């Protein structure tokens, strides 16, 4: 299954910002109120994330949604 470029871009950006904040996937998941495996799936472009979860992750990372796109 080919991964969509938008999912790859989004996942890479989440991972990049998470790492600059020195957060583990588990810590980010807790802050965002999602399961820890979900963050890994997003970063590997395995999940087509919903707008509601994009907002949760942006708030947890303390960035505007547009910074993740």
Which uninterrupted H or E stretch holds 15?
Answer: helix 5-20
Whole-angstrom distance, CA of residue 2 vs CA of residue 35:
24
Whole-angstrom distance, CA of residue 69 vs CA of residue 66:
5
Whole-angstrom distance, CA of residue 2 vs CA of residue 47:
12
pLDDT higher than 80, residue 50: yes
The third-level CATH classification (topology) of the domain covering 5-61 is 434 Repressor (Amino-terminal Domain) (1.10.260)
Higher pLDDT, 34 or 1: 34
Cβ count within 10 A of residue 22 = 7
pLDDT of residue 1: 59
């Amino acid at each position: 299954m080919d991964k969509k470029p938008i999912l790859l871009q989004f996942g890479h950006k989440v991972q990049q910002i998470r790492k600059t904040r020195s957060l583990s996937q588990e810590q980010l998941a807790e802050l965002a109120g999602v399961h820890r495996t979900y963050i890994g799936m997003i970063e590997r472009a395995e999940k087509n994330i919903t707008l509601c979860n994009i907002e949760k992750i942006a708030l947890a990372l303390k960035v505007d949604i547009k910074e993740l796109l």
